[in-house]
Every structure is written in structure tokens, then in C-alpha cells.
Amino acid sequence: MMDGKTILVTGGTGSFGKRFTRRVLERYQPKKLIIFSRDEYKQFKMAQEFPQEKYPCMRYFIGDVRDRDRLDLAFQGVDYVIHAAALKHVPICEYNPFEAIKTNVIGAENVIRAAIRNQVERVVALSTDKAASPVNLYGATKLCSDKLFLAAGAFSRQRRPRFCVVRYGNVMGSRGSVVPLFLKLKGTGCLPVTDRRMTRFSITLDQGVEFVLQCLQIMQGSEIFVPKLPSYRITDVVEAIAPGARIQEIGIRPGEKLHELMIPIDEARNTREFKTFYVIKPSWNGREEYQGDKGLPCPDDFQYSSGTNTEWLTVEQIRDLTSEVEAD
């Protein structure tokens, strides 16, 4: 479905954007693949990795999702939009709340309006587990963003664009995650852990990209997709990276959760289970013809948390996953 299409990725110079770009170029022949981001140096570096001489479909577009006019210009002739731009660092968002709201909430509205005005076909917005029952500002802004994208279908004519949200947790080994820090400190024999009880869902960058590509294809509009993932314990990550290392428990940080929550109990009644993912279908009547009811309805008391998951990674599996991650 990508062949001959024009695809735009907001925040395209980030970890996800670069891996998404590589996968699309390997598998498809898009008409254009537009990288939309505000950092000229990152675009310069990415253009060296994916030069237009080798990949004629590549375009690099400087812009900010806060700038509605610039988005309007960038979205002209675009078929698919992957919205990955966001301010994501929890403590930084706590300290700079106005900036987080401008990018994550107002920026989402700008993307929606530009997509509707330019009659984009499909828009996939990347979300986070922190948007489920949020306890920090980042999660709260992403919850607002998710609500905007889910409701946007009510404003689009003739079902164009279709909007959906993809929700998953921290990507193992990504920038800002704990794995590069542990790799840097493993020679000290002591690793800092906020709380020994902490668990997380495990997803790699490649798995995240594959899931987004899958959702782009099967989306019907105004739903949230959640992948089925194994969990891991933070203490097992320590053992995998630095066997026998001493753990220094430093206390949970403001806005941090003990366990990742992807589907809270209040969304269970609208959730359907499929073989490899869950779908939280629209809870409003804007799309009465929604066809996502083929999955198995989840019980009313269901919630999808890393702490109560049924599938867990072993220390050896974690070691394999972290073996190619670079230290900070």
C-alpha cells in the first residue's frame, strides 16, 4: 500500500523516524518520503544516511508542528502521515509544562487540521503507555493528543482522513531509556535503580515500526491499537547487563510509575482482543459502522499492565535484546 504514495513523518529525525524510513525504503517504492522536523543538523545527518542521490523519493522539510501554516504547506499532496513529533522526557516536561502543551497538544491539533484541509488519506499518531491513567504532564498531554485524534474523524468528510492512535511503552535501548545508562555504568559494579519492584513492557524499535506499518494498513478510524508484548523486571535487566552488580535503590522519580499500563480498566468495555494486539474501539457514535468488533471482547475488569502480564522475558532473552545497544 506504500508504493506510489507520498508519506510524511513528523519528528522524522528521531529514533523511530529513522528506522521507519529504512524499513519503507527497503520494502516499498513510495513516490515521496518526507521527513518533517525542526532540527536542521539532524536532518543534515539523516540526509547523509539517506541521500536523495540514492533515494530520489526522499525529501527533508524543516518545520515545527506548532506552526500551522508550515504544516499546511508540508501536507500538500501527502497520502499518509505518521505523527511521531513530541516532547517526551518526563522530568523536562514537568519543568517546562507550557512547552510540552504547545508541542504535544496544540501541535496535535495543528496536524489534524492540516490533514483535513489537505485531504490526507490516513494519519497514525504515536502515543505512549503514560497516556493511560496519566500521573505526569507528559502522559496528560499525550492523553489530550489521543483524544483529539480519536475525535478528529467526526470532522473529516467522506472518511478522509482516517485517524488512529498506536500506543506502546518505552522502546528498549532507545535514547533516554535505562539500558544505555546501565551499559555505561556496568563497569562500576553498582547500578542505580529507582525501585526494585519496577516492571516494563518490552518492545524493540523494529517491533514498533512493524506494528505501526500493520496498523496503517488495517486501521478503520478513531481506534487505539495496543500490541501484545512480554514484560521484564528491572532487576532482571541489571542481572542481564552486569551480572552480580550491586543495586543502589535511589527512589522513584516524580511522575514515574512502578508498572506500565497500556489499557486501564475503564477502557476494558471498549477493548477487543486479537491474536497479536488489542484494539480500543471508538466509545462515541461518530462511526456507527465501525467494523472492529470481530475480536474477542475483554472482561469488564480487564486491564493490561506490565506488572500482571502473563508473558515475561528471561535474563538470557534480555541479554540478547540489549547486546546491540550502545552506551550513552
Q: CA 105, CA 111: separation in Å to the nearest integer?
A: 10
Residue 99 backbone phi and psi in degrees, to 5? -65, -40
List the catalytic residue out of 5, 18, 88, 130.
130
Q: CA 36, CA 17: separation in Å to the nearest integer?
A: 10
Q: CB-based contacts of 275: which residues, under 8 Å, 6+ apart? A: none
Radius of gyration of the chain (CA): 20
For residues 312-322, one letter each, b for 16 or more C-beta atoms within 10 angstroms of the residue's C-beta and e for the rest, the string is ebebeebbebb
> What is the helix, strand, coil percentage profile of the chain, to 5?
40, 20, 40
Q: CB-based contacts of 186: which residues, under 8 Å, 6+ apart? A: 241, 242, 245
Which residues pair with residue 171 across a beta bridge? 203
Distances (CA, A) of 155 to 113, 117, 160, 270: 9, 11, 9, 22
Q: Which three cell numbers stand for residue 10?
A: 513528523
Does residue 130 carry a catalytic annotation? yes
Q: CA 4, CA 36: separation in Å to the nearest integer?
A: 19
Q: CA 261, CA 11: separation in Å to the nearest integer?
A: 25
Please list the active-site residues: 130
